[in-house]
Every structure is written in structure tokens, then in C-alpha cells.
Structure 1
């Protein structure tokens, strides 16, 4: 069995960190270590992380706020194993996520990275929808022009050697993942398989705000100037147009129109039943010593 390092950076995530940790312990694949790395939290997140009593769990905290990209690079340095999976502290993952991703990595040795589709959920773990990329692979142009769902960053599992060759750019404030995909793909070092199954539970609330979207589009234009070899000005103009639409909808109090478009509504009863079954498995998973240290007000 291939051992896996799971990297979970966190910052002020006391509301959700226990759920994220529980979903790691709920995995059908159990040959893993979990690295919990604090990014200078000021709430009870670090207490929650330190409450877990399991030799497979390591907690790191230096009291600094270095941001996500720096912490992801640190996880690569700290990892004991040659395969690394990541997730965000406010999300959960399907109990079969690691098992299914590792099967792909074993089946296709030329592949460096595997990601999955996602379930879009509320903060209270209610299902909003699901989305995944339209194919099992993605080209540089599809990344650049943002065709399809793209790469679900937090659901990534890959070879440590790839992350060592392709570190995150810590000088970027946002969209470090998008820069990494484009940078790696532009030098033909982005061999990735996209599983067309929702194996990651993504808390949608707060993920899309006018401020975040405008920042993302601003950074998008930087990426176009950096990587686009053709249609550069067309892409930049299109990005400015998207920013304009966000501002108009925000002024009209209609911004939720954009949020609702992010995930397709789940109408398939089998998909809904699968989600509910897996979520129950996570909720019922016992983690020795785990405490929430969070009281709902």
C-alpha cells in the first residue's frame, strides 16, 4: 500500500476543522499521515488540532501568518511520503477519495496529479449541487481560457516530486493555484487526471463574494499578460467585462445570480443518497481525543 501524506493548513477554522479532520479518519484507505499546519490562528483552531491523539497526526505552529502558498510549500518539505494529498480546513472529503485517486495514480504511472469533482455544500452541510470537469484531462488553452470546471485545487493528490519541481509562488496574494497550473502546463509538466466524480465537499458560502471575484479577475489579467501567447488582449478585455458585470450586479443587489450558476442542481436521487450516506459515515467516525473547542452562539 502506498503511504500518503495529507496536508491540511488552517487559519481561524475553529467552526469546521473538526469536521475536516474527521473526514480524514473516515477514509477507506488508512495508510496515511496527517500534517496539520497552523498559519497563525487567533481562535481555538490550534487547540482542536492538538487535541487529536493519534501517532499518524503531526501538528506544526510557528505563530506566523505566512498565507496558504507558503504553507503548502512547507507541507511538501515536511511530508514523509512520496504522495501528497491536500484539503482545506473548512471542507470535507468523501470516505473513498484517497482510495479512488490512488487507483488512478497506480493505473497511469505517467500521471503526476489526480483531482476530483466536488459537492457544493452550505456551512450546515446541506447539498447545493455538484460539478466536475467535462473531461479527464485538461489542456493549457482550457486552463487559460477557463473552459469547463477546471482543476479542483483542494482535492489534489499528487507525487511529491512534482510539487518539488513546481512550488507555489508565495509572492502572489491570490490564485496561486491558477498560476501554478499555467506555469507547469506552459513547460509541459502538468500531467493530471480529473476524476469525474464528486469526492470533495466544498463549503460554498463566502467562497464567492464581489470582492473575491474582482480580485480574482484582476489577478486573471496578470496571468493573461504573463502566459497568453495569442488572443491576449481579447482575454484581458473579456476579464474587464466580467469585472464590470460583477459591479453592476452588486449595485443592483443581484450578485447571487452569479453564485447560483457555480453548481448544477442535483436532481439525481442516487447522487443525493450517496452524498447523505457518505456524510453520515464521516459524522459517525470517532477520532480519539478530538474536541471542537467551539461553542455556537
Structure 2
């Protein structure tokens, strides 16, 4: 199979999906980084999410026979826009790229070849380089499936613009259109919990642009809250208890029973040596945070549950959480929120 096959066959090797809303400023650079790929047989699916800037002018300049543009009449949000791009994709694999990031010239070829060579792997990402006026840090996530599966219990292990996935998987697993942030973390965690094997390549294949438009206090706060919920749901999925998961999804209509949650954790740990109780400590802390009452009784039960799971608590932690039991409700919840960030 010739990597340098003619441009855009009826079934390209890879479809690159780019959602964009008022992203004309850097889109031209992004497209150039794709047009110069060593792998030629691919298509770019650009979904214009009702932009009102100079996007069309940029597209008039950066034309290419591999570019397919879809203009949405209304702004539907990044998740729905990506899903629309997935629906239009014709490639065996779908790669993602944001409209302000840059791809290494070898990115598509290396990831395509890796997935072709490893048929059991359904999705792969890579390391990436952060940059503004110059290159900054290189971010390298865990690489093997087993290490990623565990690390996802603590946070997202994939840079969105580094990901390439089997298209057949994305016909089943879609981005959650209700999410404005962490939609990628939510999708990857759902796929991994369902048994999809994944990997990360150690080489930096993408340059991730840092700019002021990404810095929003509201967005950062929203990202923090939603990513915690996604993290908790991923941990719950790993417990293998669908009924328990559905009760978490139904929050806040259901009052969680921490004892039942702890019991499910112990059952999971006993039947699978892959996990230890500490792996699920965040899930229990998140469930405790959702409890309607943070009083002395709730705190005592919370510490007893952790002790029963063999989760040794240091003196400072015990003192801090004990203070919560006597603090006003608003202060208690804010303080526990801080502890959740620092301790878990």
C-alpha cells in the first residue's frame, strides 16, 4: 500500500475533522500544516459552526482538493460540530485537529501506519509541544493501554489534536453534545471503560497553541467541575456496576449511599488485581462532596469508610476534614472543594 498514493480517493486513508467557530486568525496556518503532510491520501473535513469572522476569506486563499467544507446555519457547539464532521468522514480513520493547532508533517503517516500495524488498538494519540511565540513544554502522557487505563482515573491522557481513531468506533461512540468543555475526556473515558484499547506515541506530532482566548475564568471553573464529574463517572464505569453508574448519572436527584459505593469498590478490588482501593478514592470523595449534608455525622461516616478500605489518612487531613463538620455549610463545601484538588 503506497503511502504517497494519489490525492483523495473515494475512500481516503484518514479524515481530519476540524470544527471552527470564528477561528479565522490561525486557521490558515493549521491548514498549511495539513496540506504539507507526508501522507497524501486523506481529506480535511472542516465544519464551520456559524462563524461571523473572516473565515470564508481564509478558505478562499487556502484551497485544496482534499478540503471539504460544511457551513452550519446555526452555532451548535464544538461537540455537535465534531459529530457532524464524523458523519461526513469517508476515511478508515478519523483524526482530530483544532483550528489553531499545527501538525508535524509526519503526523498522519505515523499514526496511520501505527494503527494499521496494531489492529487491536482502536485509538492513538501522541506527545505534543505547547507554544506561543516560541516552543514551550513537551507534554508526554502514558503510552501503553494498561497505563493509560489507570492514568485516566486521574485526568485526561490525550491531547485532542493528537488523536486518531478507527472511524467504525466513532459511529458508535459520539461526543456528548451537552458538554462545552471536557467533551473529549468524556468520550475517551467512555470508550476505554467499554474495552477499547488505546495508545500514545512518545514523539511530539502536534504543536498546541497557547493564546489568551483560551484563558477564561468562567471556562476554567466550568472545566474543573465537569472534568471531575467525568473522572468520577469513568471510575464508576470501571466498577462494572451499571445500576450504580446510572444512579450517579441521575445526580442530583438521587442521594448516594457511601457505604454501598465502598462495598462496590471492595468487590471490584477483590476480583481484579489490576486495581487497589486507593484507585477509587477520588470517586468516594466526589460522592461525599455531593452529599446534601456535611455535618459531624457525615464526616465520621466518611472517615470510617476510608479506614475500612485501608486508606490511611494523615493527621493534617483528619484535622482539616473534621473542621468541615463544624463550619457553616458554604464554607465547608468550598474548603472540601479545595481539599479535593490538593489531596486527590
Counterpart CA distance in 1 for 2:208 and 2:187 is 21
1:179 alignment partner in structure 2 = 186
In 1, are the aligned partners of 2:17 and 2:82 still within 8 Å (CA)?
yes
In structure 2, the CA distance between the partners of 1:134 and 1:227, relative to structure 1 (3 Å rule), is: closer
- The answer to whether structure 1 residue 73 and structure 2 residue 80 are counterparts is no
| Matching residue of 1:130 | 138
Q: Is the 8 A contact 2:232 2:286 kept in 1?
A: no
Q: Which runs of 5+ in 2 are unaligned?
A: 3-11, 237-279, 290-334
Which residue among 93, 99, 111 is the counterpart of 1:83? 93
Distance between the aligned counterparts of 1:133 and 1:100, measured in 2?
17
SS at match of 1:75: helix
Is the CA contact (8 Å cut-off) linking 1:12 and 1:42 kept in structure 2?
A: yes
8 Å contact from structure 1 (residues 224, 235) kept in 2:
no
How far apart, CA to CA, are the structure 2 residues paired with 1:160 and 1:244?
A: 36
Verify: 1:165 aligned to 2:172, yes or no: yes
What residue number does 1:222 align with? Answer: 229
Name the CA distance, whole Å, in 1 between partners of 2:338 and 2:180. 22
CA distance in 2, matches of 1:76, 1:66: 15
CA apart distance, 1:50? 3.8
Q: Which residue of 1 aligns with 2:200?
A: 194
Q: Deviations over 1:229-287 (max 9, x none)?
A: 43213357699227878xxxxxxxxxxxxxxxxxxxxxxxxxxxxxxxxxxxxxxxxxx
Which 5+ residue runs of structure 1 have no aligned equivalent?
A: 246-297
Following superposition, the deviation at residue 215 of structure 1 comes to 1.3
| Cα distance in structure 2, aligned partners of 1:53 and 1:173 | 30
The residue that corresponds to 2:125 in the other structure is 115
Structure 1 position 53, deviation (Å)? 3.3
Equivalent position of 1:141 in the other structure: 150
Counting matched residue pairs gives 240
Pair 113,225 (structure 1): closer, same or farther in 2 beyond 3 Å: closer
Paired residues of 2:148 and 2:157 also in contact (CA < 8 A)? no
Highest relative contact order (Cα 8 Å, sep 6+), 1 or 2? 1
CA 71–242 in structure 1, closer or farther in 2 if over 3 Å, else same: farther
Deviation per residue, 1:18-76 (Å, 9 max, x gap): 00000001111111111111011110013212443322211110221111111111111
Provide, for residues 142-166 of structure 1, a one-character-per-residue CA deviation record: whole Å limited to 9, x for no partner. 11212xx711112111210011111
From 261, 274, 285, give the equivalent of 1:234: 285
CA contact (8 A) 1:92 1:201 kept: yes
TM-score, reference length from structure 2: 0.64
Give me the CA root mean square deviation.
2.3
Q: Would you say the 8 A contact 2:18–2:96 is kept in 1?
A: yes
TM-score, normalised by the number of residues in structure 1:
0.74
CA 14–239 in structure 1, closer or farther in 2 if over 3 Å, else same:
farther
Q: Find the aligned partners of 2:151 and 2:198 in 1 and give their Cα distance.
A: 13
Q: Contact 1:84–1:158 (CA<8 Å) still a contact in 2?
A: yes
Structure number with bigger Rg = 2
